[in-house]
Amino acid sequence: MKSDLPFSSLYSMAYMNRNVNKNCCFVFVHGFSESGVCWDDIINPIKDHANFVTYDCVGHGNNAHLWERVSFHTYVHQLGELVSYLKERECFCNIILVGHSQGAAIVSQYAINSAKNVDGLILISPFFYIGAPLKALWTNFLQLVEQGEIRRFWDVNSSLLLGPKSESWAQYREDSIQQRLNFFTKEQLTVLIKTLLSLQITGEISTFNHKPMYLIHGQYDLMFPNYYSKEIQKQVPVAKYIEVDGANHLLIECESEIRQVLLDVVNL
């Protein structure tokens, strides 16, 4: 049964698909310019196997009106409020965090800060910092937005997401661009991109050597290449690395692999 979770007086509510027979809860954190609904196609086929919680990050979705508050610290704080609510009010014993792209950085930073509250991590297309080539790319993106070339920004950005497995998404690409043009203002986008550009994980993820950790990355990811996952695995050798053949950065290209990992974690 899907229910609303009013976990904060500041942020909009989260949403839960609950199975009363399970004490494990997965919390999903989306990436840049997405919202919690991006997880629906992954969750719906397996919603009877565990509890799943989604929400919109600050500056996105139902929290778009809070865009002036956006910072990496605020992203992590928002997740912290939700996890505290789930443990204290919903009485979940085990919390597994799932993040895609920027969302993977958010869940990782929270897990480093509050390791005792996290029982596992599933990181999809993760990155912990913006390397020099990507910094140049996203700096150019920022300049396009600041110059008012917002459609061009979305067009170039979405072009980098096209890959061998993106045929099903390619036909919706123009709709995706138009939705974002209608939703995000120039001022909002400027803040969101600046926040991404300044992203830097602090602390040691190696503390997760004794907890389940999965790294899922597309073979041809151009947005945030899979060397990021391989770097993380060097810090956490027990982490299971899954490279998705033919996939780029799109969440839709990794859906079956993500669902299988979720089911594997439930059965541990």
Domain count, the chain: 1
**What CATH number does residue 44 fall under?**
3.40.50.1820
Does 22 map to a domain?
yes
pLDDT tens profile 58-101: 999 999 999 999 999 999 999 999 999 999 999 998 999 999 99
Whether pLDDT at 268 is above 70 = no
Q: Are strands 240-244 and 120-124 parallel, antiparallel or unpaired?
A: unpaired
**Summary mean pLDDT of the chain:** 95
Does 243 map to a domain?
yes
The mean pLDDT of 197-224, rounded to a whole number, is 95
Does 187 map to a domain?
no
Does 102 map to a domain?
yes
Identify the band that residue 29 occupies on the pLDDT scale cut at 50, 70 and 90: very high
Asked whether the beta carbons of 19 and 262 are under 8 A apart, the reply is no
Residue 97 has, within 13 A of its CA and on its CB side, a CA count of: 31
Stated pTM of the model: 0.97
Does 242 map to a domain?
yes
Q: What is the pLDDT of residue 168?
A: 84
Asked whether the beta carbons of 134 and 222 are under 8 A apart, the reply is no
pLDDT tens profile 140-177: 999 999 999 999 999 999 999 998 898 889 889 999 99
The 8 Å CB, 24+ separation contacts for 139-142 are: 139/197, 141/193, 142/190, 142/193, 142/194, 142/197
The mean pLDDT of 92-113, rounded to a whole number, is 97
Does 140 map to a domain?
no
Asked whether the beta carbons of 154 and 181 are under 8 A apart, the reply is yes
